[in-house]
Amino acid sequence: MKLSNLGEFGLIDLIAKRVAKLPSTFIGIGDDAAVLKAKGKYQLITTDTLIENVHFRLKTTSFFALGAKAMAANISDIAAMGGYPTHALVTIGLPKKITVGQVQQLYRGINSLARKHKIDIIGGDTIASPRAVMISITLLGEVEKGNLLLRSTARVGELICVTGKFGGPASQKYSLPLAAHRLRLSEARVLAKSHLATSMIDSSDGLVRSVLEICKASKVGARIYEDQVPIARGATLDQALYGGEEYELVLTAPKKHLGRLKIKHKVAGEIVAKKQGVKLVDAYGKIKSLKSGGYEHFK
Ligand code: ADP
Ligand code: MG
């Protein structure tokens, strides 16, 4: 079977079936980061890779922005677990034509976020790549035992809340500079410490995909209210629903907690029973099927 038949998510499901579990593995494949049991806390680990001509084009992306974006994608995954980042391993694959100055710019981008969020770069790997520039970061983090937020703990009747606006990056033809990639680490920490949210994910693959992932992990369904989705200036509803590349938070919370959430958010939907599926509701109350679930590799 070809990869295009299975798609990225089908492939991960296939891989996930074959992974054994040690007693120290609390959460393996399936959330924004893996969760390992540690003394008095949980250890978080996540990894994300960017590759030229899939995630970015060198013509329109600076090396600084590339480094910062690779860090941002990983920090966002740690934030989505309610945790804070601590240590990073950075692997770079570079064609010979790349200059030392460009690599220094890449590291300036990486270090800008590392400094801001007090992350130590503790290692990595450097390899020659035949054509494409590649950067892969593995980020470690921590979260206090009671503050962990998972994808798998949403319950029927809860509301789906989101931070920020959606569709901005999708509405731009080319990669945005980092300024557009606002990270929600501090909001995520506020949510984690308050114990008012029940589940959380980041929106890196799009709002609809995030809701689908929460529903899959929590074994529930959802209604997304089209007229309540915050849409970025210049973006269409479709770009807001399916676009991705923004690092907003998508979380669920019981209705009675909403007034106390302490972060800026909008209600964009509701959790329903699994058998009702994941659907859109338009401004007239009409239930509509999803188009597709955001960006998927190999499809
Ligand atoms: P995110 O978009 O939050 O980074 P992904 O969609 O990339 O998450 O991955 C979903 C889950 O699948 C994560 O738990 C990730 O670690 C896991 N995963 C992805 N690719 C692989 C792989 N090749 N082998 C094992 N696990 C994988
Ligand atoms: Mg994620």
Tens digit of each residue's pLDDT (9 = 90 or more) over 262-283: 999 999 999 999 999 999 999 9
What is the structure's pLDDT at 21? 78
Evaluate whether 107 touches 167 at the Cβ level (below 8 Å). Answer: no
What is the structure's pLDDT at 173? 62
What is the structure's pLDDT at 176? 54
Name the helix (H) or strand (E) containing 138.
strand 134-144
Q: Which one of the ligands is nearest to 250 CA?
A: 2
Ligand 2 centroid – CA 111 distance (Å): 21
Q: Which one of the ligands is nearest to 46 CA?
A: 1
What is the structure's pLDDT at 294? 54
Whether 245 lines ligand 1, by a CB cut-off of 6 Å, is no
Per-residue pLDDT reduced to its tens digit, 161-204: 999 999 988 888 655 555 556 899 999 999 999 999 999 999 99
Ligand 1 centroid – CA 28 distance (Å): 10
pLDDT-derived band at 19 (thresholds 50, 70, 90) equals confident
Per-residue pLDDT reduced to its tens digit, 57-108: 999 899 999 999 999 999 999 999 999 999 999 999 999 999 999 999 999 9
Among candidates 31, 148, 133, which has minimal Cα distance to 82?
A: 148
> What average pLDDT does range 149-167 have in this prediction?
97
Other CB atoms closer than 10 Å to residue 23's CB: what's the count? 6
What is the structure's pLDDT at 40? 93
- The answer, yes or no, to whether residue 117 has pLDDT greater than 80, is yes
Pick left, alpha or beta for residue 181 (phi over 0 → left; psi -120 to 50 → alpha; otherwise beta). beta
Per-residue pLDDT reduced to its tens digit, 225-261: 999 999 999 999 999 999 888 899 999 999 999 999 9
Evaluate whether 88 touches 67 at the Cβ level (below 8 Å). Answer: no
Quote the mean pLDDT of the chain.
93
Whether 31 lines ligand 1, by a CB cut-off of 6 Å, is yes
Mutate to test the pocket of ligand 1, among 8, 18, 21, 29 (most ligand atoms within 8 A of CB): 29
Helix (H) and strand (E) counts for the chain? 7, 13
Ligand 2 centroid – CA 294 distance (Å): 13
What is the structure's pLDDT at 144? 98
- The answer, yes or no, to whether residue 23 has pLDDT greater than 60, is yes
Q: Which of the residue ranges 11-15, 41-45, 173-177 would you say has the lowest mean pLDDT?
A: 173-177
